[in-house]
Structure 1
Amino acid sequence: MLFLAHVNKQKAFELYAAHYLATDGQIYWSDTHQLSVYIANYHEELDQKLNAKNPSSEMIMEIYVPLRSLPDFLERIRKDFRENQVEFIYGTIRLIKQDDESFLAWARENFACIIFNLHVEHGFAGLEKAKTDFRRLIDRSIEFSGNFYLTYHRWATKKQISTCYPQFAKFLSLKRKFDAGEVFQTNWYHHFKKMFE
């Protein structure tokens, strides 16, 4: 299926849709059936079959838009991906409820969550293209009063973060207040701390 998603998206969609629709109405006793494994270097065999010039993988991004905006957003993304030759491999759409508990709440209201898995080549040009493509996805979400999930990459600009998470600078201030010794830290934290200095 993953190979088909790279070489024949229409056929991959037809097979996946047929399988998915065949499960309609099924009831499961637990969510255990949804668990899966991550296979290290899963893309190597695919790279060989595709005669890839550089090692590649799929990279995830979550975009959130108000439910009422979903059809228009998807149409805009369809055009954008075609114009910019974005290699969209697969994705999902789900409903997410408003988050009124988290300080950096990603769901300011009930949103449609669109998961994008884009094909990314690991050479310099491929990573630069991915950065541009993911930043454009964030810009499209902003056009539709949407948002994005913060931690999948560090390519969001300061303006994008400030627009989608206006409380981000306050978050950093509170982080310094309650964790003055920076006991809890990550590369992600250091990247954005430096960005907002």
Structure 2
Amino acid sequence: MWRNYEASFNVASLKPIAYKNKSFVLEEFFIPVERFDNFYPELIAILKKNRVNVMNISVRHANRDSGSLLAWARTEVFAFVIYYQQSTDERSKDQVGVWTRELIDAVLANGGSYFLPYQLHATSDQFQQAYPQAAQFFKLKARIDPENKFSNMLLERYRPETVQ
């Protein structure tokens, strides 16, 4: 079998990423290298308990990011990239939020973090714990963009009231 056989397909021949009632989604969680063996059984248990329709989990490696205020890799980490299918009704979205917050708690207990740009299921406390330099980031953002011309849902959800 040719290693990159699937990559040779025309993208138009692949299934769409979203349908009317369901979507394929990614979430990504970062665990310090030395905590891999502690985290992955928790990951599997949470996904099984919540009956998550997982298509694939990729494990990637990333070096420490020492320059970003919202760094997801404060140490050398393994990234667990979960590709799953979810229904798009409100109840299903709420269920995804439940198991995502459970995974974030497991990640935080292991000294890790999660990738910000996906669905915003993390609580404000989880966000603050995963991104301890967030206050510094929001102050810098307010200084550079006092009119808040550049914004997004993540900023609106997690920015402290005092910085707006």
TM-score (structure 2 length as normaliser): 0.84
The residue number in structure 2 matching 1:65 is 31
CA separation in 2, counterparts of 1:37 and 1:102?
34
Q: Any unmatched runs of 5+ in structure 2?
A: none
Separation (CA, whole Å) in 1 of partners of 2:122 and 2:44: 21
Specify whether residues 124 and 95 from structure 1 end up closer, same or farther in structure 2 by C-alpha distance, changes over 3 A only: same
Pick one of 129, 132, 136 that aligns with 1:170: 136
Q: 1:108-164 CA distances to partner (integer Å, 9 max, x unpaired)?
A: 011001101222111121111011111111111111111111111211101101111
Match of 1:96 among 47, 54, 62: 62
1:79: which partner in 2?
Answer: 45
| TM superposition shift of 1:40 | 8.2
Indicate how the Cα distance of structure 1 residues 146 and 37 shifts in structure 2: closer, same or farther if over 3 A, else same. farther
In 2, Cα distance between equivalents of 1:83 and 1:40 = 28
In the alignment of these two chains, the number of paired residues is 158
Q: Which has the higher contact order (CA 8 A, sep 6+)?
A: 2
Partner letter of residue 78 of structure 1? I
- The one-letter amino acid paired with 2:146 is A
Instruction: Please show how residues 1-197 of structure 1 align to structure 2 within 5 Å.
Output: 23=3, 37=11, 41-44=16-19, 55-193=21-159, 196-197=160-161
**Separation (CA, whole Å) in 1 of partners of 2:75 and 2:25:** 26
* Shift in Å, 1:174: 1.4
Local SS of the residue matching 2:135: helix
TM-score w.r.t. the length of structure 1 is 0.71
Q: Which has the higher helix share?
A: 1
Structure with higher Rg: it is: 1
| RMSD value, Cα | 2.5
Q: Secondary structure, in 3 states, of the residue corresponding to 2:132?
A: coil
SS at 2:156 equivalent: helix
Q: Write the deviation string for residues 149-186 of structure 1: whole angstroms up to 9, x where unpaired.
A: 11112111011011111111221121111111222222
The percentage of counterpart residues that share the same residue type is 22
Unaligned runs of 5+ in 1: 1-18, 27-32, 45-53
1:61-114 Cα offsets, whole Å, 9 max, x none, are 110001121122111111222222222221211110100111211100110011
Is the CA contact (8 Å cut-off) linking 2:46 and 2:99 kept in structure 1? no
